[in-house]
Amino acid sequence: MPSAPESGWAGLSHTAATATPDLALAAVFREAGVLRAEDLTEMFDLLGVLETVPLPAGSRVVALGNSGCPGVLAADACEAALRSMWRCGGPAPVTA
């Protein structure tokens, strides 16, 4: 069960219905300076490098993943680190 308030939204925002052609996505990522992993091995390599550098200024975080679970885990980690997930589209937050 997700513990952070943003976790419910993060889990819902992964739908394949919002798929974008890879060429366009790659161009946007390049322009924005996004680090993109092509597979799990590369993702863990990138994470190993990123944990050795200082955190960027600010408190907002964007997490992109190929399923809802990484978004939920990222939202929980952000909550624990007093950072907030930036909503870059997707469904409205789930409320009880």
Are the CB atoms for 40 and 93 separated by under 8 Å? Answer: no
Please, what is the average pLDDT of the chain?
Answer: 74
Q: What is the DSSP letter of 38?
A: S
Instruction: Give pTM, 2 decimals.
Output: 0.47
What is the chain's length? 96
* Helix residue spans in the chain (DSSP H): 7-12, 22-32, 40-50, 68-80
Q: How many CA atoms lie within 13 A of 16 on its CB side?
A: 0
Query: pLDDT tens digits, residue range 60-81?
Result: 777 777 777 877 888 888 888 8
Q: What is the DSSP letter of 54?
A: P
The pLDDT score that the predictor gives to residue 89 is: 63
The pLDDT score that the predictor gives to residue 8 is: 58
